[in-house]
Amino acid sequence: MNLRSTNKIKIEGGMSSMTDLVFLLLIFFVVLSTMVSAGHNVDLPTSKNATTKEKSNIKVYVSNINEYFVGAKSKTPVAPEKLEEVIMSQLKNDSTIELLGDKASDWEHSVKVIDIAKRNGLKIVIKTKSN
């Protein structure tokens, strides 16, 4: 007498419904992330007595042949050993160094200007050209 059944129950989960659920969650989070704004829209008040503080910027140019020029109208190059002295002599309170380096110049010459700013606790802005 054969008491064993030939029908066996297979216990398997359907993966197609799981992938559908994952795709629905993905679509939900993509749509939700596009609706989130990064900041607040604030309408600032106006004032009749508002004054803006002009910041003095010291422009330091590094030419394509690695020469330093300090100041917007400077035509004579500054020696690398005198660069910090010239920059510090043109400083005013709340000054910022604008670094304008030619893309053909060596990076080490631009880093020298950055090091001077860091040593003296100055802010530095590296200018680039927009596309």
pLDDT tens sequence across 106-127 = 888 888 988 988 888 888 888 7
What are the chain's domains? 57-126 (3.30.420.270)
pLDDT per position as a tens digit, 1-49: 566 767 777 777 677 788 889 999 999 988 888 877 654 454 455 666 6
pLDDT band at 90 (very low <50, low <70, confident <90, very high): confident
- The predicted pLDDT at position 51 comes to 56
Give the C-alpha separation, 44 to 52, whole Å.
15
One-character DSSP codes across 63-86: -TTS-EEESTT--SPBPGGGHHHH
pLDDT beyond 80 at 96: yes
